[in-house]
Structures are given as structure tokens and as C-alpha cells.
Amino acid sequence: MTFTTRFAPSPTGPLHLGHAYSAMLAHDMAQAQGGRFLLRIEDIDTSRARPAFEAQIYDDLAWLGLTWETPVLRQSDNMSFYRQAIEKLWKSGLIYPCTCNRRDIQAALSAPQEGAILTGPDGPIYPGTCRHVPTPDMPIPDTAALRLNMVRVRPMLDDLRYTETGTDAGMIDFSAEDLTQTLGDIVLARRDMGTSYHLSVVLDDAAQGITHVVRGADLAEATRIHVVLQRLLGLPTPVYHHHRLIRDDAGKRLAKRDDARAIAKYRADGATPGDIRAMVGLPG
């Protein structure tokens, strides 16, 4: 299988050093393996994605010396593909509509019998208020979020594992029980967008034949969700390479809003692509 990797930015802000590191590392790895490097624009959140940021992504990546295959997959053009997967999960009774807002969830969680509030990577663990198995021929409501019913899904999942080649390299084993406790019933389709980062990323990685996912260590935890979705949807699990995060001088993770570290800013200040490579610790 040809080594195939991708860089999958969300055009919701300028590319910063952390993105540049991720993209260049993936590109370097593909080159070293004689493999393929793809670019994917993750713009399902139309309330936050901006065409100007997308244009700047192409411009910054080309300036850094990267080349990628075309056409570039834009997730906003692929919504019917995600919908098909939602329909499949719906017909299998594995997802259910949830109409709780943030306040409802907080209220349910702070009820005395619930004990300590558990927080996962996507926020507080959903207490399962709306969890039920809907009738498959009922139409999918478009005014609700759709959550994965972990109670239903749990018995279908065994030997959950993936290969990690980045930080904490090795075989990562985990159980569906752990997931239920640390993640709960995750949202697979947000009310306002009909899909979610987790669902779309898994479907696109499979459809694009990604063999190696290279991305920041901040997404290592989400990988367990991705492996579960791959199992439920009958998709292969790629190898994952989670890399160290590029931090600012105060040791803080670089946020996209942090325009001071935007690649565009370094370019305007006269930095070369080689300077950027040196700054993130990649060989010249």
C-alpha cells in the first residue's frame, strides 16, 4: 500500500507555526516513503470557515515549498457523503436525537446523584438524558443533534486498538467500557451542520485512502472515537502519528487566534521557509 498522508486544516484562522510543522512533517514523511501527500479543507463549520483563510492556507503552504495532489477535497462539498453514513447508523439504531442545550446538560450533571462532573475532550460527558433507540423508519429529525448510543454500541466492539508511531509510540489498546466512561455518547451530527469533525474525518480518511494520519498530540485522545467509528462503519484504521505541539515561549499551546505566530506574519517580517523549518525543529 502506498504511504498516503494528508494535512487537514480548518480555515477558521490563519495558519500558525504549529500548522506549518504538521504540514511539513507529513509532507517530509510522504517524501521519505515515496508516498502521497493530500490536502483537505475541513470547513464543515460554515459559521467559522472563511474563504480568505482557505486562500491563505494554499498560499502559505505553497510558500513553504509543499506540493499536494489536486483536486483538494473540501468537506463542505462532501455533505451528502456524511449524510449517507448518518442514515446508515440511524437505520441500525446506533444514534439518537438529542435536543439538550449546554444548560440542560450542566443541570443534569450537577444533579446531586450524578457525583463529580466528568469532562472529556469534547466537554462535559453527556449524561444520556435523551438516550433511546429510535425506530429506524422514523425520519431523522433535523432540529436535533445526533448522538452515538454507547450502551448499544459497546457490545459490538472488542479488541479496540491502533498503531501509534509518534509520541507514546506503540500499539494503543483501549476498551469500549473506558470510552463510555471517559467520552460518553458523543455527537456525530451537530444540529447546525448535519455532521461532526469526528464523523467527517473518519469517512474522508478512508475515502481518500489515507494510510498514515499525521497530526498534533492534541488529537490523540479523539483517535479512540475515530477507531470506534471505523469499526461501526466497516472502515480500515490507518496508522496514527501524533506529533509534539509547538508551544510559545510561555509553554502555551498556539491557538489559531494567536496572529503573532501566523505564518503570514513571519513572511511579512522577511523569514524564509528554511527559517520556519528551523523554528519548529525540522531538518533543513
Residues that bind ligand GLU (CB under 6 A): 8-10, 42, 201, 215, 219
Kindly state the cell numbers that stand for 16: 500558525
CA of 249: how far to CAs of 24, 77, 219, 225, 244, in Å? 21, 38, 22, 32, 15
**Could you tell which of ligand GLU, Zn ion, none binds residue 10, using a CB distance below 5 to 8 A set by kind?**
ligand GLU
User: Cα–Cα distance between 243 and 25 in angstroms, integer?
Assistant: 9
**Could you tell which of Zn ion, ligand GLU, none binds residue 129, using a CB distance below 5 to 8 A set by kind?**
Zn ion
**Could you tell which of ligand GLU, Zn ion, none binds residue 261, using a CB distance below 5 to 8 A set by kind?**
none
| Strand ranges of the sheet holding 170-174, from the earlier edge strand across to the other edge | 170-174, 160-164, 239-243, 212-216
- Smallest distance, ligand GLU to C-beta of residue 231, A: 18
Cβ atoms of 265 and 256 closer than 8 Å = no
**What phi and psi, each to the nearest 5 degrees, are found at residue 212?**
-135, 120
Phi-psi region of 65 (alpha: psi -120 to 50; beta: other; left: phi over 0): left
Q: Which is nearer to ligand GLU, 176 or 201 (CB)?
A: 201
When binding is defined by CB under 5 A, the residue of 15, 98, 202, 214 that contacts Zn ion is: 98
- Smallest distance, Zn ion to C-beta of residue 168, A: 34
Q: State the binding string over 119-138 for Zn ion (x if CB under 5 A, else -).
A: ----------xx--------
When binding is defined by CB under 5 A, the residue of 100, 140, 206, 219 that contacts Zn ion is: 100
- Smallest distance, ligand GLU to C-beta of residue 50, A: 14
**Could you tell which of Zn ion, ligand GLU, none binds residue 215, using a CB distance below 5 to 8 A set by kind?**
ligand GLU
Q: Which of 10, 19, 17, 15 is nearest to 248 (CA)?
A: 17
**Could you tell which of Zn ion, ligand GLU, none binds residue 100, using a CB distance below 5 to 8 A set by kind?**
Zn ion
Kindly state the cell numbers that stand for 267: 513572511
**Could you tell which of ligand GLU, Zn ion, none binds residue 206, using a CB distance below 5 to 8 A set by kind?**
none
User: Cα–Cα distance between 276 and 284 in angstroms, integer?
Assistant: 9
- Smallest distance, Zn ion to C-beta of residue 140, A: 15
List residues near Zn ion by CB under 5 A: 98, 100, 129-130
